[in-house]
Structure 1
């Protein structure tokens, strides 16, 4: 995960909202992980680990930069990528290889414009076989959250590679040219992690973690502008040979305000089943 410096004019550095996050919690048991098995670890080229999430029985959403070799920018072979759905304690709910991948056409791995590169940092992987297990449920797509909204992240990382962790509540601090600035706790290996919101009692993916950064002395995470790209990418890959399953974007979530809380506050909970 790229470590970069972000200049943010409007961040609430001294605002209490910065502290309005829940702790990162490891999913130690099967009960902890229930409903989250659609998030998995990506092993890439025997060298790189990222996080991905199912958006259909055959499609995994992740960050585009995960598919490029850090030193050279060369693409990893699709056949060298494995998705381990619900990986925890040395076992996965499903193991699948990747048949092919599509990187957002607007993404530029070598681009100098950091915000632009982050905002387009999206890739879709097609698995070699569908995952059809009742315990592994794909997630639907929602629209980009507004500044101040509460989101949650489920991720793997370098120091917690053997089980996923969940942060149920963190904040969208800013939106910059299509990218989101969050105060979510991420680290190397969290790239591609799904950013969720709660909508009508269900969680929907609204963004993908792209990078770990700093705004001044404060750690932040950067996430993609998912909604601007996902429909076009799905339409493009659906026309190639009909193997991709279209995923319909959902309306912007109706956020419930807490009494005395900040605008856009909502409880992020584990989904049922």
Structure 2
């Protein structure tokens, strides 16, 4: 939920000054299905539906990378969300991607859809951000000849705040096609955590009509038509049960995770234009904010990202992270607000990267904790603004101890005379579900040892097995097992 690419202080300071023009509308308008038979929305025909392995996935936008003379001299590139490409945190470069994009994706002109195959994922990352650059097999000149209109990246951080338009291709609606949502966007004013991703500087809006498939949608400044940020997550289908995990991003305020209802989050992309020269993407350019990424290869996580607060006699939880950084030295600190990872204050002295290990304590109170790690080339260097852009952040949540949740199991009779059993799965409460079938008379499941239970999410029981006792229990993200649930299943 995903190299940090944030200009942490300059961006945040600039965005905070715009709050007056970013006041949130109390009731954003519903999204509009776009019809383009009269070419009213042809300027957005370069926003399309991204497919992976033949399945609809996300939204992607054709970038306008024409040179200063307006010549299309390079490949065709798409902008989308990083998790639409891979859940490998990255950053990753030049990876294969079995997919395609469909442009001119309007509901009323299906015969005019244009499909283009993806050549590769040029860049994608879920570390501190969530975006990807894909390269198509066809060059940009071909798409322009086909009538597809690319869209320029904004170079102004301030453009991401205020009134915005989100044009996406969600597949959560009965009618397929591009949809337009309009509302206001402002800085999130909190660190955001979603599963493996910690995002210190994001933008938040409450546009309506955002659904599955909207990830990767361009957030557009109406006055210029330029892309200011890219949509990457939402709380529209979130529940408190899954707070801070997949599809339920949480805002961390005063060290505590909170849920913002019906919120969409995006990452500013004003720095990306500097990564293109003569129509070609090059992350090694001095003008590209991606050119000095700090990478580390985690070798062992000795901590859980979801754990119980310690009892009085127990040790304070520690990070216990073993890793291999790509710089000779590193600095670290543990904080309650991931946004402070981008401040040089509080970082440790330089540590030699040979056999790198951090055994720093988290804390003892309930809440969210973050570990910040930044690399330097010499022992004398302190983390400066350039290095801090690429800080790596790991987050973990401590919660009060208590009984693990019982499994949530649905048992449905089927026409063949058996039963279909489905178990709810999802972090942090239902990380695993295990079952065992016992004799009908064993109504307490005492004859079955837990080592003999088997993992399941879905299970079909045949008529020949009935009657029986179904024994199930759940294991949560902290590794704690629940009490046993017992279901007596008679013949029917």
Change (3 A) 1:190 1:158: same
1:172 and 1:183 in contact (8 A); partners too: no
Cα deviation for residue 91 of structure 1 reads 3.9
Residue in 2 aligned with 1:5? none
Identify the match of residue 132 of structure 2 among 118, 123, 134. 123
- The counterpart of 1:94, out of the listed 111, 114, 124, is 114
- For the 8 Å contact 1:41–1:86, the answer to whether it is kept is no
Q: CA deviation at 1:173?
A: 5.2
> C-alpha distance in 2, partners of 1:100/1:167?
30
Indicate the residue corresponding to 1:159 in structure 2: 172
Deviation at 1:23, TM superposition (A): 2.2
Match of 1:26 in 2: 33
1:18-66 CA distances to partner (integer Å, 9 max, x unpaired)?
A: 3253320001342353321010100112344100111136111111110
Q: Is the 8 A contact 1:145 1:172 kept in 2?
A: no
Cα deviations by residue, 1:122-147 (Å, 9 ceiling, x for unpaired):
11111111312374211111123468
How far did residue 82 of structure 1 move? 0.4
For residues 175 and 85 of structure 1, what CA distance do their matches in structure 2 show? 35
Where does structure 1 lack aligned partners over 5 or more consecutive residues?
A: 3-9, 241-245, 247-273
**1-side partners of 2:117 and 2:227: how far apart?**
23
Whether 1:190 aligns to 2:211 is no
Where does residue 249 of structure 1 map in the other structure?
Answer: none
After superposing on structure 2, the runs of 4+ consecutive aligned residues of structure 1 that deviate more than 4 Å are none
Question: For residues 259 and 85 of structure 2, what CA distance do their matches in structure 1 show?
Answer: 29
CA distance in 2, matches of 1:97, 1:134: 15
Distance 1:217 1:206 in 2: 22
Q: 1:118-170: CA deviations, max 9, x gaps?
A: xx211111111131237421111112346851111001112237211001333
Tell me whether 122-131 or 93-102 shows the greater mean CA deviation. Answer: 93-102
SS in 2 for 1:17: coil
Q: How many residues are aligned here? A: 213
Say whether the 8 Å CA contact 1:61–1:124 is kept in structure 2.
Answer: yes
Write the distance in 1 (CA, Å) between the matches of 2:227 and 2:160.
16
Alignment pair present for 1:37 and 2:26: no
TM-score by length of 2: 0.38
Comparing 231-240 with 207-216, greater Cα deviation is found at 231-240
- SS for the counterpart of 2:188 is strand
Distance 1:137 1:147 in 2: 21
Does the CA contact (< 8 Å) of 1:53 and 1:60 recur in 2?
yes
TM-score by length of 1: 0.66
Q: Using the alignment, how far apart are the partners of 1:204 and 1:78 within structure 2?
A: 28
Report how far residue 220 of structure 1 moved. Answer: 0.3
SS at 2:79 equivalent: strand
Query: 1: distance between equivalents of 2:160 and 2:115?
Result: 37
Name which of structure 1's ranges 143-152 and 45-54 shifts more when overlaid on structure 2. Answer: 143-152
The alpha-carbon deviation at position 171 of structure 1 amounts to 2.8
Structure 2 SS opposite 1:128:
strand
8 Å Cα contact 2:183/2:205 also seen in 1: no
User: Please, which of 248, 262, 265 is the counterpart of residue 222 of structure 1?
Assistant: 265
> Is 1:178 aligned to residue 227 of structure 2?
no
User: Equivalent residue of 2:25, what SS?
Assistant: helix
Shift of 1:172: 2.5
